[in-house]
Amino acid sequence: MLLLFLLVPLGGLLVRAAITHPGAGLASPAVWPALRLSLFTTTCSTVCVAVLGTALAWRIARGQGAWARWAETASQLPVVIPPAVAGVAMLLVFGRRGVFGPLLDRAGIALPFTTAAVVMAEIFVSAPFFLQAATAAFRRIDEPMLIVARTLGASPPRVFFRIALPLALPGLWGGVAMSWARALGEFGATLMFAGNMPGRTQTLPLAIYSALESDLDAAQAIAALMVVIAFLVLLVLRALQPGTVTGGGAAR
Amino acid sequence: MMTVRLKRQLGALALDVDLRFGDAPLVLCGASGSGKTSTLRMITGVLRPDMGHIDLDGTVLFDRDAGVDVPVEERRLGYVPQDAALFPHLSARENVRFALDVSGTLARRERNARALQLLGELGVGPDAASRRPAELSGGERQRVALARALASEPRALLLDEPLSALDPATRQTVRAFLAQTLQRLRIPTLVVTHDREDAEALGAQVAVLEGGRVVAGP
């Protein structure tokens, strides 16, 4: 019953988009700039999340005591915070009248309603998904293996790059796919903090929102395109399913 | 000669061990939960004792009162944990080579040959050397783990339950082989096991650990 409820709207969307000239919908002038912008911003945000998130996840996974627990909980906050709230919060901190407003202004940087703001909003909402997957991947590594590497004289960077990173890699790729998918679907925080300007801050979800009022075919076509992309991400995730990955069985 | 005096409270267990071992390997025998693995981990340096002193051939590795605590990476102890803990993404040869890369004493081009030589001395042929841990037998894994530990030219050797993961038939062979190898190495060696038979076969000296204390010793 629930599965039907989950699948019927998506099926309906795909069928309708297929019947009503998907070509015409995709030809709408709003589609390609939005697609280009979405691909660009999600690539930027995902790279940031993956690089900074890998280092943080490693520290959280290896950390003991209050700091690691606190950091782990704090890093999951954006999952439960409504995206619109996140957008307002970012505006209050990075906006012209925000906490860092005067500082940024003096440096000649204006963030709100720019492409950079889109990337920031995407990082904010998508990072927890990567962190969760990456922390879990690092935790699956057998502790004795890391101890052995250290007794052999390996420095912490060597232990990380030669042992921990290769073993956690499938889990990290899973996290990349999850956070990228979340960034691609990001709507609320982007609308609040970056606005809805075609070519500059109008990503695919915002383009759907705008098109719904004027060009239903285009809205349908973009929505169907996003369902296809999401489905592909899910396939990638399944292929990288943890358990088939770290080869922990070898140490048993 | 290695001298180990350690105290540490581990939950309900008050670990308090006093061990000395030199040319002949010492086997520390005790039931699970008696504090064997924790003792080894304190010697490696990953677990910090509350009190105590560790001395290896005149070098102090740990002394709480004098404030000495040599980092794990600099203690130069060969450690073989339970179940070998080989790096699963590297072949047997690459596992040994990892240790050679870290120590850096050999030129790069000599390291593969040296890794194969070390494995060969422990009865792991070139064919098995190219396989990953998941494709090796239990006995082969133990030998590779020992070769990896020896590749770093350790000043002492610590083995945690080296035979427990093996089936009875393999166990006999590896036990005899290990006893021979340990005699040959002549560096201070501490072997931990829960099995009395293994203990007697492996060590000229056996100490018994019970409830965190050595109750019978050499």
Q: For the ranges A78-87, A214-223, A231-240, which has the lowest average pLDDT? A: A231-240
Interface contact B75-A162, CB threshold 8 A? no
**pLDDT range class, residue A15, cuts 50, 70, 90:** confident
Q: What is the pLDDT of residue A252?
A: 29
| Interior angle at CA A175, CA A232 and CA A56, nearest 5 | 160
Distance from CA of A249 to the nearest CA of B (A): 7
CA-CA distance, A153 to A5, in Å (whole number)? 56
Domain-located, residue A238 = yes
Percent of chain B with pLDDT over 70: 100
Q: How far apart are CA A53 and CA A124, in angstroms?
A: 12
In this complex, do A154 and B73 lie within 8 Å of one another by their Cβ atoms? yes
pLDDT for A242: 56
In the predicted model, what is the mean pLDDT of residues A194-209? Answer: 93
Domain assignment of residue A13, yes or no: no
Q: Which two tokens stand for residue B144?
A: 């590779």
Average pLDDT of chain B to the nearest whole number: 91
What pLDDT is stored for residue A238 in this prediction? Answer: 77
Interface of A with B (CB under 8 A): 142, 144-145, 147-155, 158, 162-163, 166-167, 246-252
Mean pLDDT of A220-249: 73
Chain B residues in contact with A248 by the CB 8 A cut-off are: 88
B81·A152 Cβ contact <8 A: no
Q: Which residues of B touch A (CB under 8 A)?
A: 41, 44, 46, 72-89, 98-99, 102-103, 132-134, 145, 148-149, 151-152, 165
Q: Which residues of B touch A65 (CB under 8 A)?
A: none
Query: In Å, how far is A174's CA from the nearest CA of chain B?
Result: 18
| CB pair distance less than 8 Å for B134 and A167 | no
Separation between Cα atoms, residue B82 and residue A17, nearest integer Å: 59
**Does any domain span residue A141?**
yes
Distance of CA A98 to the CA centre of its chain: 25
Confidence of residue A241 (pLDDT cuts 50, 70, 90): low
> Is residue A246 predicted with pLDDT exceeding 80?
no
In a domain, A9, yes or no: no
- Tell me whether residues A147 and B83 touch, CB distance under 8 A: no
On whether residue A98 sits in a domain, the answer given is yes
Which pLDDT does position B39 carry in this prediction?
93
Task: State whether A153 and B74 contact (CB < 8 Å).
Answer: yes
ipTM summary value? 0.92
Q: Closest CB to B72: pick one of A145, A150, A251.
A: A150
| Chain B residues close to A142, C-beta within 8 Å | 85
What angle, 0 to 180 degrees and rounded to 10, lies between the N-to-C axes of helices B138-151 and A143-151? 30
Each residue's pLDDT tens digit, A140-188: 999 999 999 999 999 999 999 999 999 999 999 999 999 999 999 999 9
Residue from B41, B102, B118, B160 to probe the interface with A (highest A Cβ count within 10 Å): B102
* B160 pLDDT higher than 70: yes
% residues pLDDT > 70 (chain A): 95
CATH of the domain at A88: 1.10.3720.10
**CB distance B85–A142 less than 8 Å?**
yes
Test B79 with A148 for CB contact under 8 angstroms: yes
Residue A198 CB contacts under 8 Å (≥ 6 apart), including other chains: A30, A33, A34, A207, A210
Q: Which residue of A has its CA nearest to B72?
A: A151
Q: Give the range of the structural domain holding residue A224, as residue numbers without chain letter.
A: 29-244
pLDDT attached to residue B22: 87
User: Which residue among A145, A154, A166 sits closest to B102, beta carbon to beta carbon?
Assistant: A154
User: Does residue A1 have a pLDDT over 50?
Assistant: yes
Between A23-32, A97-106, B52-61, B144-153, the lowest mean confidence (pLDDT) is in A23-32
Highest mean pLDDT among A31-35, B28-32, B144-148: B144-148
H or E segment to which residue B209 belongs: strand B205-210
Copy the structure tokens of residue A126: 């998508």
- Which has the closest alpha carbon to B163: B125, B201, B206, B116? B201
Out of A147, A152, A251, whose CB is closest to B102?
A: A152
pLDDT in tens, B111-120: 999 999 999 9
Listing DSSP states for A193-213 in one string gives HT---TTTT--HHHHHHHHHH
Looking at the complex, report in whole angstroms how far the Cα of residue A244 sits from the nearest Cα belonging to chain B: 13
- Distance between CA atoms of A119 and A117, rounded to whole angstroms? 5
Q: Do the domain assignments include residue A207?
A: yes
Position A205 in a domain = yes
Closest partner residue to B88 (CB to CB) among A149, A151, A251 is A251
Counting the structural domains of chain A, the total is 1
Residues in A closer than 8 angstroms to B152, CB to CB, are: 151-153
C-beta atoms of A147 and B84 within 8 A: no
pLDDT digits (tens, 9 = 90+) for A211-233: 988 888 888 888 888 888 888 88
Q: Is residue A221 part of a domain?
A: yes
